[in-house]
């Protein structure tokens, strides 16, 4: 199953070291770019990450990045 494209571009979010985040891999969350449990029955599971720096993170909104949960520019190649 292909993930849903939540947005064809990254979400710039403020993250903090010492916290754990769960990036939405399925694209269905209403709380992008984070998981809200909507992946149920999609076969997708969220990607956990713990930032190494406090500050802005650019998290993939298209869900097709090859470096999840981060945007790697793949969104520019999507139809
Ligand atoms: Fe997905 Fe950029 S938003 S690769
Ligand atoms: Fe998308 Fe959980 S809601 S991975």
Residue 54: its pLDDT value, please?
98
For residue range 18-55, what is the model confidence (pLDDT) as tens digits?
999 999 999 999 999 999 999 999 999 999 999 999 99
Tokens encoding 72: 């790697």
Residue 76: its pLDDT value, please?
97
Residue 4: its pLDDT value, please?
97
User: 33: helix, coil or strand?
Assistant: coil
Write down the pTM of the prediction. 0.95
Q: For a ligand 2 pocket test, name from 32, 41, 46 the mutation site with the most ligand atoms within 8 angstroms of its C-beta.
A: 46
Q: State the ligand closest to the CA atom of 62.
A: 1
Mode of pairing for the β-strands spanning 55-59 and 11-15 = antiparallel
Distances (CA, A) of 64 to 10, 17, 18, 39: 11, 25, 27, 16
Torsion of CA 21, 5, 63, 24, to 10 degrees: 20
Residue 62: its pLDDT value, please?
98
Atom 2 (ligand 1): residue with closest C-alpha?
71
Residue 1: its pLDDT value, please?
85
């Amino acid at each position: 199953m292909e993930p849903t494209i939540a947005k064809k571009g990254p979400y710039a979010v403020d993250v903090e070291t010492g916290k754990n985040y769960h990036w939405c891999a399925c694209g269905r969350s209403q709380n992008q770019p984070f998981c809200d449990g909507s992946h149920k029955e999609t076969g997708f599971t969220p990607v956990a990450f713990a930032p190494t720096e406090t500050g802005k993170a650019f998290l993939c909104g298209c869900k097709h990045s090859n470096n999840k949960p981060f945007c790697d520019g793949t969104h520019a190649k999507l139809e």
